[in-house]
């Protein structure tokens, strides 16, 4: 329901703003491109990006009410405008840029600024209301940064610094093959010539729209979360569409003013980009594209493809990354134990497999045989792990077999699970480790998570026995390695 209402507000508001400057035909085409050529379609149809859709609607209210307030100032416009800007910044710091849009709207030279100051003096109390509501959003954000945590209304993630200057993640935001904005929403590139046309035809809103767009992108690229591939087609960028589709509207108007060759060529290009967006959205929905795993080679291999075989899947990042040597110097890390199973107390449901005939330490150990192939699952959500990356994980255990390990195989396993799919699956076979039968042998598997994963993903660690007699396990341990 929230997504539907937000989408309706966005479309009505953008129609009102665009129709002030363009014909109904140009306005309709521009709205159609928003729906089909951006991630607006994904948000609206599948109702998954609640925060992105509400932020777009709030930014659309800022643009809509700004235009109305400068035309005919009123208390309703001032209240809605102030609340929308305050809500934007309370949800996400990049919402600060919305004030630039309001402040510079209609101003481009000395005379227009003089008229603006005159309007501000005449409507001083309305201006104060706008500023107070905007400032309230800032104050609430600073005072209660974790308010509504876990809901769409909270965009807070704890970092050593909230903002890093000089937009260090700008390239990733725009061009990352995982979820780069210009890779998966290339239609927005036409905002560049659109701004040029806007500057020529309507200077009164050029500076406000251009400054907002520039500052918003730089602010977004200056926050650590921008580098995390947890959204398709940079859903964090969505609210900028409320502004960018004004210059895009001017570009569409320029196309329609040209001859048949210009109209035909650009209509084909825009249609192709919209079709590409819809197709890549389909690929994302069908798990062909995934922002967490896509590499340049994999993207090229699945471009315009509807089926992916196992060989192509191996081009994804998690099949190629092996950083076990990263953990070789243990003195470089702070090491903590997440799980330890000594099997002195029976794990629930495993009582019949806890025996005292063989034990490395204490009195008991676990027996794996044809009736029990796996040690108890050691699983935990990524959100429970330390947030520093790279992050090392070590699974270790003591193993005992009365027969040769080469004839009695088993495997240590660490894997991640994303939406019921295994990825970055890693294993070590005990028969390849030159272990001695009739003795307790220590075995380990090192695993490195190189970058932030989806917090809802699970890390699974266990030992999988595939032999036919028996194997004994003791002192099963999972440790985490954090850089000092």
Does 151 have pLDDT greater than 50?
Answer: no
The DSSP symbol for 372 reads B
Pair 105, 67: CB distance under 8 Å: yes
Question: Does the residue 314 lie in any domain?
Answer: no
- Each residue's pLDDT tens digit, 75-107: 999 999 999 999 988 888 778 899 999 999 999
Pair 316, 450: CB distance under 8 Å: no
Is the same domain home to 125 and 250?
yes
Is the same domain home to 80 and 175?
yes
- What's the CA gap between 43 and 6, in Å, rounded? 10
Is the same domain home to 21 and 90?
yes
What number is the average pLDDT over the span 462-479?
A: 90
Least confident of 41-45, 117-121, 384-388: 41-45
Select the highest-mean-pLDDT range: 154-168, 241-255, 295-309, 402-416. 241-255
Residues with Cβ within 8 Å of residue 333, at least 6 apart in sequence: 327, 392, 481, 482, 483, 484
Q: Which long-range contacts (CB under 8 A, 24 or more apart) does 295-301 make?
A: 295/177, 295/320, 296/177, 299/177
According to the model, what pLDDT value does residue 156 have? 44
Is the same domain home to 279 and 407?
no
Angle among Cα 144, 150, 151 to the nearest 5 degrees reads: 90
Question: Does the residue 9 lie in any domain?
Answer: yes
Instruction: Give me the domain span that covers residue 450.
Output: 324-483
Count of structural domains within the chain? 2
Sort 178 into a burial class: Cβ within 10 Å, 0-12 / 13-18 / 19+: buried
Alpha helices in 202-324 (DSSP H): 203-220, 241-257, 260-285, 296-302, 310-313, 317-320
Domain end position, chosen among 230, 261, 285: 285
Pair 215, 35: CB distance under 8 Å: no
Is the same domain home to 394 and 477?
yes
Is the same domain home to 410 and 457?
yes
- What's the CA gap between 175 and 94, in Å, rounded? 20
- What's the CA gap between 476 and 473, in Å, rounded? 7
Residues with Cβ within 8 Å of residue 287, at least 6 apart in sequence: 419, 421
- Supply 362's token pair: 């204490």
Model's pTM, two decimal places? 0.69
Is the same domain home to 358 and 231?
no
- Each residue's pLDDT tens digit, 10-35: 999 999 999 999 999 999 999 999 99
Is the same domain home to 272 and 333?
no
Question: Does the residue 250 lie in any domain?
Answer: yes
Least confident of 95-104, 144-153, 219-228, 473-482: 144-153
What number is the average pLDDT over the span 307-333?
A: 68
Is the same domain home to 60 and 146?
yes
CATH number of the domain that 401 lies in? 2.60.120.260
Mean pLDDT, all residues of the chain: 85
Is the same domain home to 346 and 227?
no
- Supply 5's token pair: 């209402």
- Supply 241's token pair: 């569409």
Is the same domain home to 258 and 366?
no
């Amino acid at each position: 329901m929230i997504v539907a209402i937000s989408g309706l507000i966005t479309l009505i508001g953008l129609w009102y703003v665009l129709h002030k400057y363009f014909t109904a035909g140009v306005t309709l085409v521009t709205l159609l491109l928003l729906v089909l050529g951006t991630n607006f379609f994904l948000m609206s149809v599948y109702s998954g990006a609640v925060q992105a859709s509400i932020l777009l609607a709030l930014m659309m209210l800022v643009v809509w009410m700004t235009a109305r307030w400068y035309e005919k100032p009123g208390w309703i416009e001032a209240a809605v405008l102030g609340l929308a800007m305050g809500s934007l910044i309370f949800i996400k710091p990049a919402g600060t840029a919305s004030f630039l849009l309001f402040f510079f709207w209609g101003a481009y030279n000395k005379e227009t600024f003089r008229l603006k100051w005159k309007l501000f003096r005449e409507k001083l109390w309305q201006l104060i209301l706008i500023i107070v509501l905007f400032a309230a959003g800032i104050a609430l954000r600073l005072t209660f940064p974790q308010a509504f945590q876990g809901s769409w209304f909270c965009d807070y993630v704890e970092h050593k610094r909230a903002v890093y200057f000089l937009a260090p993640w700008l390239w990733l935001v725009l061009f990352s093959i995982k979820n780069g904005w210009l890779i998966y929403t290339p239609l927005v590139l036409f905002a560049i010539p659109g701004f040029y046309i806007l500057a020529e035809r309507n200077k009164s809103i050029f500076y406000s729209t251009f400054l907002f767009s520039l500052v918003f992108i730089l602010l977004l690229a200056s926050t650590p979360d921008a580098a995390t591939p947890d959204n398709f087609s940079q859903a964090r960028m969505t609210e900028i569409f409320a502004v960018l589709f004004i210059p895009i509207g001017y570009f569409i108007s320029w196309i329609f003013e040209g001859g048949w060759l210009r109209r035909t060529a650009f209509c084909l290009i825009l249609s192709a980009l919209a079709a590409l967006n819809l197709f890549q959205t389909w690929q994302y929905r069908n798990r062909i594209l995934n922002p967490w795993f896509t590499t340049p080679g994999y993207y090229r291999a699945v471009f315009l493809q509807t089926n992916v075989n196992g060989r192509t899947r191996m081009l994804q990042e998690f099949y190629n990354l092996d950083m076990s040597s990263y953990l070789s110097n243990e003195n470089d890390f702070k090491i903590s134990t997440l799980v330890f199973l000594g099997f002195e107390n029976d794990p629930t449901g495993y009582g019949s497999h806890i025996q005292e005939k063989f034990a490395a330490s204490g009195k008991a150990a676990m027996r794996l045989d044809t009736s029990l192939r796996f040690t108890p699952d050691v699983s935990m959500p990524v959100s429970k792990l330390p947030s520093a990356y790279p992050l090392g994980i070590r699974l270790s255990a003591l193993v005992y077999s009365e027969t040769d390990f080469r004839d009695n195989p088993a495997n240590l396993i660490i894997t991640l699970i994303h939406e019921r799919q295994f990825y970055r699956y890693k294993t070590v076979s005990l028969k390849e480790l030159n272990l001695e039968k009739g003795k307790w042998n220590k075995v380990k598997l090192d695993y490195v998570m190189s970058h932030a994963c989806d917090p809802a993903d699970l890390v699974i660690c266990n030992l999988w026995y595939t032999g036919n007699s028996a194997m004994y396990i003791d002192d099963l341990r999972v440790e985490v390695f954090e850089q000092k």
